[in-house]
Amino acid sequence: MPSHIFADRPAAQPPERGTVDALIQQTRRLRGEVDAVRRDAVTDEDDPQGRWQRALCELAVHQLDDLDDHLAQLRDGGPADLDQQEILENLEAELAPQPGRGSLLSRVGSAEWNLLTDEVVWSGELYAIFGRSPEQPPLTLDELPTFVFSEDRDLLTQMVTDCLIDGRPIDGEFRIVRDDGSVRTLHMMGEPVLDADGSTASMWAVLRDVSELRRSQLALRETRDSLQRQRHIAQTEHRLAVELQEAVLPPWRGPLRFPHGSPDVLDLAAHYLPSSSSALIGGDWYDALALPDGETLLSVGDLTGHGVTVTSGMAMLLGALRGMAVAGAEPGKLMGWLNQLLDASVQPALGSAVCCRYNPHTRTLTWSQAGHPAPLLFRDGTGRALDAPDGVLLGATSGAVYEQASEQLEPGDLLVLHTDGLAPHRDGEASRARLLSLAPRFATARTAQDCVRAVVEEFGERGEREDDACVLVGLVGG
């Protein structure tokens, strides 16, 4: 029989159908657009950002579904009365597998427990929520906790007690376990119904199945937490990579003059240019080192990849390069040993490099390269790339042989060594062409530092680079 609570209250009048229908159409149109975004999203299980975005779409779809249902009830003035046969048919439809979302019957139900007559009235919707047949008796307040998750029983008992004894409204959630073993999350809202003496005569409640909504919210929280963890890890790795890079690259920021006290000095300056985003710390390096025999080591290079692993690999490679150069290794043999080092590394990597030894007494440059842009030589206002000896990328193949070449330099000559990330898209040809176009400016420069400044102005401190880059300039004195 219908609950007397509904008879005691004036029936709600539905608002203008046209207005609500327009809202329903807008909601469904928006729902379709959000669903299209969700379907079109490319989900990569290794991408926390993508998982988080998809979870947001899932949550938005469920909330729009709920809004659609609420507006439909608002338009119709409440759920229609259903006879027993209609309830059975709806329950059968609800329990059948459906590819889409559940209908309103599976979402909101109502109940009233009469304390004077022990009569219990459930709506057909509530039977569907609990997975029970309308032919079964509705659950009494004493029986209801047997369907509730053990961890949630105390909460339900407290809410019901507060309602019946203290007259407090019910507003809370608990989980139920249906006969088929499935778990549903219900949001219960209710209040006591008082008799003429002000005593509690019955309790009524509306129960809403919010399982899908809570699952979507949980997925959103989990993906958001995962994304935050990934961002924290990325920030930590970025900081470590920056600190390691700063510790490994030469500490000098101003010009150097090797060898010290010699009239045939080589004036040196260098600069590290970060990527446009500053988020990519790669394995680019530059180095200049005075060797025990009076010669000067010049090198630039780049390990493929980004992050702290690549930066630590660059530190290992640069340390090995310095050690072998101090021991007297010629550039060609040195490159071969560096190749063996990368080839035998626990974390395989590819790298490119150019290594030069400059003899200030003869002004001879002996050099070798491993898949790297050749040094640029500027003389008398023009520039050219040196003819590169054979040499493959470091770590590309075992037992590779690296040739070396020599170049006779003259007083006033300018050498420019650089990595290939100066120009956008790592365009080596574009980088070389733009550097060669600086020949007139280099011709009027008085120091290597002036030349480095011209390079930075040409390519920008950050520019449009997708990768970081290095430039090392040497001005031959005498």
Comparing 11-20, 81-90, 387-396, the range with the smallest average pLDDT is 81-90
Residue 169 in this model has a pLDDT that exceeds 80: yes
Structure confidence at residue 99 (pLDDT): 38
Which fold is adopted by the domain 249-476?
Answer: Phosphatase 2c; domain 1 (3.60.40)
When pLDDT is cut at 50, 70 and 90, the band that residue 462 belongs to is low
Q: What percent of the chain has pLDDT over 70?
A: 78
- The correct CATH number of 82-208 out of 3.20.10.10, 3.30.450.20, 3.40.640.10, 3.40.190.10 is 3.30.450.20
Structure confidence at residue 469 (pLDDT): 87
Q: Domain residues of the chain, as ranges?
A: 1-78+210-244, 82-208, 249-476
**Token pair belonging to 319:** 């340390």
253-263: average pLDDT: 64
Mean pLDDT, the chain, rounded, equals: 82
73-100: average pLDDT: 46
Structure confidence at residue 46 (pLDDT): 55
263-299 residue pLDDT tens: 678 999 999 888 766 566 778 888 999 999 999 999 9
382-437 residue pLDDT tens: 999 999 999 999 999 999 999 999 999 999 999 999 998 787 666 778 889 999 99
Residue 24 in this model has a pLDDT that exceeds 50: yes
Q: What percent of the chain has pLDDT over 90?
A: 44
Comparing 56-60, 393-397, 437-441, the range with the smallest average pLDDT is 56-60
When pLDDT is cut at 50, 70 and 90, the band that residue 367 belongs to is very high
When pLDDT is cut at 50, 70 and 90, the band that residue 137 belongs to is very high
